[in-house]
Amino acid sequence: MNSIFLAIILVPVVEIYLLIKIGSQIGAITTIFFIFFTAIVGVYYAKYEGLNTLKSGFAQLSRNENPAYEVISGAAIAFAALLLIIPGFVTDALGFLLIFPVSRNFIFGSLKKNLKTSKNEKKNYIDGEFEDIKEDNDDRKI
């Protein structure tokens, strides 16, 4: 089964289950308040972090450096804002993990380390092609 299809089905099921369980413990009004509160605070903080990332990217461009981390970070912040807007506790937790720079650096650091070890295996040979070229002058004796 496709993992995206599975996520589309499982995420709402888990969110509804948690909303019912937590709502029965703390009350419906408090649960609704938490949903709106996390959405408002999350979107505000996403805007703040997005502007900081944008400033950092422009600073790196002005120094003629590659702002690759800022581009990836900006995409993660946009995805985190989307997760925070979606009502639910699991998506809010994932959104806040992606929004805060400390956890974002940890996640990107571990992904970067995994990509480097799998991509940059050291080779002890040079890969290439060759062709024998025989010229007419090679048969002369010197």
The tens-digit pLDDT sequence of the chain (142 residues) is 688 888 888 989 999 999 999 999 999 899 999 999 998 998 899 899 989 999 998 998 899 888 888 888 889 999 999 999 888 999 999 999 999 888 888 888 877 776 665 555 566 777 777 787 777 665 555 5
Selection from 113, 120, 108 nearest residue 71 by Cα = 108
- Buried b / exposed e over 85-110, threshold 16 CB at 10 Å, is bbbbbbbbebbbbbbeeeebeeeeee
The full set of domain ranges for the chain reads 9-118
Estimate the crossing angle of helix 89-99 against helix 3-26, to 10 degrees.
110
